[in-house]
Amino acid sequence: MLMDFYEMTMAHGYFTQHENTDRVAFDVFFRRNPDKGGFAIFGGLEQIVEYILNLHFDERDIDFLRAQGIFSEEFLAYLKDFSFTGDVYAFPEGSIIYPNEPVITIVAPLIDAQIVETAVLTMMNHQSLIATKANRIVRAADGRIVADFGARRAHNVDAAVYGARAAYIGGVQSTATVLAGQQFGISVSGTMAHSWVMYHDSEYEAFKAYAEVYPDGAVFLVDTYDVLNSGVPNAIKVAKDVLEPMGKRLKGIRLDSGDLAYLAKKARRMLDKAGLEDCKIMASNSLDEYTITSLLIQGGPIDIFGVGERLITSKSDPVFGAVYKIAGVEKNGVWEPRIKISESVEKITNPGFKKVYRVYNEKGRAIADLLTLLEEVPDTTEPYRYIDPEQPWRELYFENCTFKEMKQLIIKDGKLLVELPTLDELRQYVKDQLETEIWPEEQRFENPHRHYLDMSPGYYQMKMDLLNRIFRKK
């Protein structure tokens, strides 16, 4: 029942008009990268698969729909036995993705394809957004640990839990969200609360009590009263008085307010002077890729970043914007393309049931993505001519390149065909692509290099012919 109501009214209309026998192709794509970045990261496919495989309507659902007073009993009876019978093609989850290419294609009878729209978009939009934001933050940290602290500022429960999953795919190393740790096997982490310090009679007593309970994981929150005149000195004192006699070391201190760069520098000198060179400094407090970059430029000796609200809500750009558009209709075994026209050129869709190839140069760097007709396979034995849709007059060729088809058939006739990767495999897949395939220039935060979406000559001609036919009819 996770759908917009119009999906059900459309399904009922198709059922009433006996128009559910044709198969259709719907593409899921997005129009721009979040935060004006050079790419996005595809997240949420596992949850989309789970949803599609388990899609059904129970008696309570049927009763609710009946109460709306507009659906026939024949249609409601049809829904009682409904299950998804179509196919799903998708990029592997964790793929680096770019605007205007079909990341998912649903090929199914018309009703099946129509009613999954909202759920598919909800899951892809949210997790792709958070995975992309998390990766920006991780890249800004430049090898330092990043932990997800976002649950309490997330937009309700699913946003916290699935946001933690997406953040892990994006490169975050742990989460403070226990439910996400339990559900997905993500490492959970946390330090102490300000309330622990405030409850005890003194800051020293608070740190001492914590060290006695957690001698192997002592990380003290040092900003409750005064970082430099109280917090750090008391942390050092407890390290000497309590931990070292036990043969233990102070693992870290955490800064959660104030001028983090200044305080981290001062604290580092105090810790080192006390022989605690191995003590880590953690920072939190409204961090994102921009504040982390600034802190590091200022020389802030911070080892771990706890990132909350600006990660879990993608505060700087909180809308991913993936859409679900019909691309083709199968008539008598032949696919007929469909296209959406708009006054805004960027909203004109790429029609047809099609393929997407990623194009790599001799060094294995991805130089472009390529749309082709469904039956096309690029010939790599000679220079391959392609069309830049923004400059179609140019003679352009891919030479000495390899082509990888990006969409895979993962569900066939409502049945799962593949084994989905583990969360750690998805996380590693993202890391590997960014290290070996994606240009560093695309990974800049400011003015990144644009990744091109090109077309085969045959595909480009099909699109132009379709546009010409439509405008001639007008």
Are 253 and 238 within one domain?
Answer: yes
**DSSP SS3 for 251:** coil
Helix (H) or strand (E) holding 431: helix 423-436
For residues 460 and 373, the answer to whether their CB atoms sit within 8 Å is no
Are 221 and 245 within one domain?
Answer: yes
In a domain, residue 185? The reply is yes
pLDDT at 18: 84
d(CA 223, CA 205): 15
In a domain, residue 135? The reply is no
Helix (H) or strand (E) holding 473: helix 457-473
Are 177 and 122 within one domain?
Answer: no
Mean pLDDT computed over every residue of the chain: 96
For the record, the structure tokens of 320 come out as: 């991913």
d(CA 343, CA 141): 42
Please report where in the chains the tokens 């729909």 appear, as a residue. 65
In a domain, residue 136? The reply is no
Stretch 193-218: mean pLDDT, rounded? 97
Are 183 and 296 within one domain?
Answer: yes
Q: Which of 312, 341, 370 is the last residue of a domain?
A: 312
Q: Which of 277, 312, 347 is the last residue of a domain?
A: 312
d(CA 186, CA 168): 7
DSSP string of 10-56?
A: HHHHHHHTT--SSEEEEEEE-SS-GGG-S-EE---HHHHHHHHHT--
Are 392 and 410 within one domain?
Answer: yes
Stretch 11-39: mean pLDDT, rounded? 94
In a domain, residue 137? The reply is no
Residue 245 CB partners (closer than 8 Å, separation 6+): none
The per-residue pLDDT for range 303-351, each reduced to its tens digit, is 999 999 999 999 999 999 999 999 999 998 899 999 999 888 888 999 9
The per-residue pLDDT for range 52-94, each reduced to its tens digit, is 999 999 999 999 999 999 999 999 999 999 999 999 999 999 9
Cα diameter, the chain: 87
In a domain, residue 358? The reply is yes
Q: Which of 283, 312, 341 is the last residue of a domain?
A: 312
Q: Is residue 20 over pLDDT 80?
A: no
- Of the candidates 118, 98, 131, the residue with the CA atom closest to the CA atom of residue 4: 118
* Domain at 153, CATH number: 3.20.20.70
The per-residue pLDDT for range 223-236, each reduced to its tens digit, is 999 999 999 999 99
The per-residue pLDDT for range 105-158, each reduced to its tens digit, is 999 999 999 999 999 999 999 999 999 999 999 999 999 999 999 999 999 999
Q: Could you list the residue range(s) of the whole structural domain that residue 374 is in? A: 5-130+318-473
Are 155 and 288 within one domain?
Answer: yes
For residues 291 and 308, the answer to whether their CB atoms sit within 8 Å is no
Please report where in the chains the tokens 């989460």 appear, as a residue. 175
CA atoms within 13 A on the CB side of 339: 22
The per-residue pLDDT for range 350-390, each reduced to its tens digit, is 999 999 999 999 999 999 999 999 999 999 899 999 999 99
Are 299 and 152 within one domain?
Answer: yes
Are 380 and 461 within one domain?
Answer: yes
CA atoms within 13 A on the CB side of 245: 8
In a domain, residue 434? The reply is yes
In a domain, residue 10? The reply is yes
* Domain at 462, CATH number: 3.20.140.10
Residue 450 CB partners (closer than 8 Å, separation 6+): 38
Are 281 and 329 within one domain?
Answer: no
For residues 13 and 73, the answer to whether their CB atoms sit within 8 Å is no
Instruction: Tally the domains of the chain.
Output: 2
d(CA 464, CA 447): 31
Q: Which residue would you say has higher pLDDT here, 473 or 233?
A: 233
Sign of CA dihedral 152, 155, 157, 163: negative
Stretch 269-275: mean pLDDT, rounded? 98
Percentages helix, strand, coil for the chain (3-state, rounded to 5) are: 40, 20, 40
d(CA 65, CA 81): 15
Q: How far is CA 400 from CA 64, 359, 376, 450, in A?
A: 59, 10, 19, 21
In a domain, residue 138? The reply is no
Are 266 and 370 within one domain?
Answer: no
Sign of CA dihedral 156, 429, 185, 54: positive
Are 344 and 304 within one domain?
Answer: no
- With 0.75 as the threshold, say if the pTM is over it: yes
- Of the candidates 140, 130, 139, the residue with the CA atom closest to the CA atom of residue 164: 130
pLDDT at 474: 59
Are 323 and 303 within one domain?
Answer: no
